[in-house]
Structure 1
């Protein structure tokens, strides 16, 4: 881990990445691509320690409320978040200023902040986006070694639904001859139905 003072936090589409790099160790991760110009080892997490302050300054200047997104390039609930709590601090700011939020994660650790998601959803809109890749727990441990297993993510989706917070599931990626079987897809669809998710995103069920 190394800390930096970032110059900005929100993209043109109101997305933010509090961390750069990841600890999950997923074998298929495309965020490692050189096209993203990361100048440090992927496992050496870059922490934008001033992210909450930058976010607050950005939201103060916005004339219209909108959805703030996080998790597109780096999971906001990597293990470091338990110690640093930067994602939680940003959620508190989003709640304070009355904006909406959508978070994309593979971690059941998002449950820690369900109180804030509920408050935000009551005033604006909160959406949980969760990636599911395999219904086979043993396979999950191989291709996503350091992340919450699928059953834990499913239980998280159920709790968010019970609290009135809508969720979306990403089916990505389907790896040829590994998790692209009809049995696996049927298993994931059953999880989605049982968790009452609002939608599924699959990008054509392919690899980038």
Structure 2
């Protein structure tokens, strides 16, 4: 049976199966296989569906020793950007869905997020520390345009003078400058734009529904001009595909007003590895062997290294060369590596009880 052509506008080339969270592997849903072909002879577009999720809590707390924050919020589950390397893909397997096409087309929205956040912040036992957004799925992915859950979360954080950071690949973040700018003026907000390539063709296959590279650079400038501390994340670097762009991205981000930069080589945890390999087969078959050889060299002969600290510190000559190039480019353009220290002292709980302080 012939392998169907990849779906246009999607990152994964297939629905990977996973048996890590149930007794039997989930079958591919197959709706795109039995649908009629479009006029170009390929399968029709795979439509995005959104299911309402009703969580009991919205702030996730974690104690990983190699992550610089202890709490985060994810307004959505799954991500329509379809980044082929996304380390969050395996989380869909936990819900008996594929980390492949399901992850980027069968999404979950949490419209109660703002109310749940307000309830959490009102607890007398709550201790204020910066909340990270965009740590698992992008808070400004395309469905945010309609659902506006991220916007509602920001409104609550503003109400409480609560510090936060945002990581995104979307220029849509500039929509909320009316909140971000005044919060940043009080040292309560910082934004990181992820830019992996300046090449539109590579970006379309690597991150098919994320903002185009020039739009992200433009967003960096808009944020910086508005006084919002903005950083660029050159993550992940994909060996033999995007690694040659490190210096160019640093320069473009610095010229746009970025304050600092971070970079990390691609990681391939769990089901991400076979999805990534299939993507290489489709888009870069001539480089697949070289790409995977460099990844495995940096990960101790494996596709991925999952241990604390080691997962963010690739080893070997190639990884050392990438670090040296990145650091040299940052020094040349005056970008720092340190993360911002946001102000937690302004946190307040609004309401009648505040009146008693006067």
| TM-score using structure 2 length | 0.54
Q: Which residue of 2 aligns with 1:24?
A: 81
Q: Which residue of 2 aligns with 1:150?
A: 213
Q: Is the 8 A contact 2:235 2:263 kept in 1?
A: yes
Q: Which residue of 257, 267, 277 corresponds with 1:196? A: 257
Residue 68 of structure 1, CA deviation: 1.6
Q: Which residue of 2 aligns with 1:5?
A: 54
SS, match of residue 135 in structure 1: coil
Could you list the per-position Cα deviations for residues 14-66 of structure 1 after superposition, in whole angstroms to 9, with x for gaps in the alignment? 20111010101122222112597243331211111211111001111265433
| In 2, Cα distance between equivalents of 1:132 and 1:36 | 27
| In 1, Cα distance between equivalents of 2:206 and 2:235 | 12
| In 2, Cα distance between equivalents of 1:36 and 1:20 | 12
- Note if 1:71 corresponds to 2:126: no
| In 2, Cα distance between equivalents of 1:92 and 1:139 | 35
SS, match of residue 69 in structure 1: strand
Could you list the per-position Cα deviations for residues 138-160 of structure 1 after superposition, in whole angstroms to 9, with x for gaps in the alignment? 21122111111111000100111
| In 1, Cα distance between equivalents of 2:188 and 2:91 | 34
Residue 119 of structure 1, CA deviation: 2.2
RMSD, aligned α-carbons: 1.7
Q: Is the 8 A contact 1:14 1:68 kept in 2?
A: yes
- Note if 1:45 corresponds to 2:94: no
Could you list the per-position Cα deviations for residues 68-95 of structure 1 after superposition, in whole angstroms to 9, with x for gaps in the alignment? 2110111001111111111000000000
| In 1, Cα distance between equivalents of 2:263 and 2:240 | 17
Q: Is the 8 A contact 1:51 1:90 kept in 2?
A: yes
Q: How many residues align?
A: 205
SS, match of residue 183 in structure 2: helix
Structure with a larger share of its residues in strand: 1
Gap regions ≥5 residues in structure 1: none
| In 2, Cα distance between equivalents of 1:121 and 1:57 | 24
Q: Which residue of 1 aligns with 2:185?
A: 122
| In 2, Cα distance between equivalents of 1:34 and 1:79 | 20
Residue 207 of structure 1, CA deviation: 2.8
| In 2, Cα distance between equivalents of 1:136 and 1:35 | 29
Q: Is the 8 A contact 2:85 2:266 kept in 1?
A: no
Highest CA radius of gyration, 1 or 2? Answer: 2
Instruction: Name which of structure 1's ranges 151-160 and 129-138 shifts more when overlaid on structure 2.
Output: 129-138
Gap regions ≥5 residues in structure 2: 1-49, 62-69, 269-358
Q: Is the 8 A contact 1:128 1:167 kept in 2?
A: yes
Q: Is the 8 A contact 2:120 2:126 kept in 1?
A: no
